Amino acid sequence: MNRALSLSFLSCLSAPPEKAARVAAATGYDFVGLRMLPAAPGGIAFPLMEDAIRRRALRRQLDDSGIGVFDVEMIRLAPDFSAGAYLPFLEASADLGARAILVAGDDPDEARLTASFVALCEAAAPFALSADLEFMPQSDLADLAAALRVLRAAGQPNQGVIVDALHVSRARVTPAEIADIPREWLNYGQICDGPAEIPSTRDALNFAARHERLVPGQGGIDLGAIFGALPGDLPVAVEVPNDRQSAGMTPEAWAGLLREAALHVLDPQPVRKGARS
């Protein structure tokens, strides 16, 4: 199988981009994900758009190590969204060779959210970046059906939807619904595992997503059905933040464990430790 894997930002949460890139390269990933804007006010992020010298050095490091940047995080489509405000982010993402922008929907007005998404896609297109909606039951874009409504109305050539195993489970999306997603709207997926029980509050959903995801194959999510409904060549970001399980482990040990577990789910053939997918 020629399955490209990316080490997600959340799997290497405390590491700056340079360290995360070294970890990804050392443990056999093809790509690394970077967070340049915080997921919430005061959250961890590394604003590379503010430092061109650092970006150039990081790009040289990436090129030398043979890995790329897949997704960059994150843009939230809030009611006051303005695409022009994100031009430095888009320029920095292109400097680093990124492919995709992770986009969250934080506007209860779906028509306005759709217009904002169109504006973002149009702004991102000259930089060869896709804009990929991540539906989350704790957000205003709560499920796959809502994300697909936005995509159908937007009709942009560089749009997409992210199939994140945790959010698929929590939003009770079926494999049949996943299989019906148009192929041109799929740029990458995200793999993790989690308990079968679904948290009942927004705060609990958020906490579990950011701190308690499980190693693929160690939880109650039917990952085989989810990824069996997706194209076999779809790139996959390995996104497993878990404060308890990763405690005491080096970033390299944690990333390597996650990579082998993900490949075991995605391709049950024996995987040689440290081999590049």
Name the pLDDT band for 272 (thresholds 50, 70, 90): very low
The pTM score is 0.91
Distance CA 53, CA 175 (A): 45
Name the DSSP class of 186. -
Alpha helices in 125-192 (DSSP H): 144-154, 165-170, 175-179
Query: What does residue 103 show for φ and ψ, rounded to 5 degrees?
Result: -125, 130
Q: Could you state, in order of their start, the residue ranges of all structural domains in the chain?
A: 5-266
Q: What is the mean pLDDT of residues 225-245?
A: 94
**And the tokens for 248?**
């005491």
Averaged pLDDT, 20-49: 95
Residues 170, 181, 183, CA angle at the centre, nearest 5°? Answer: 130
- Position 36 scores a pLDDT of 97
Instruction: Identify the weakest region by mean pLDDT among 29-33, 143-147, 212-216.
Output: 212-216
The answer to whether 222 and 104 have CB atoms below 8 angstroms apart is no
Q: Has residue 277 got a pLDDT over 60?
A: no
What pLDDT does 273 receive? 47
> In the prediction, which pLDDT does 176 show?
97
Give the pLDDT of residue 211: 80
Determine the pLDDT at residue 130.
Answer: 98
At the topology level, CATH places domain 5-266 in TIM Barrel (3.20.20)
pLDDT digits (tens, 9 = 90+) for 186-211: 999 999 999 888 887 888 787 777 88
Q: What is the DSSP string of 70-82?
A: EEEEEEEE-TT--
pLDDT of residue 175: 96
Mean pLDDT of 177-190: 97
pLDDT of residue 270: 52
Report percent pLDDT > 70 for the chain: 96
Pick 247 or 20 by higher pLDDT: 20
- First vs last C-alpha separation in the chain: 8
The pLDDT of residue 13: 77
Query: What is the tens place of the pLDDT at every residue in 55-104?
Result: 999 999 999 999 999 999 999 999 999 999 999 999 999 999 999 999 99
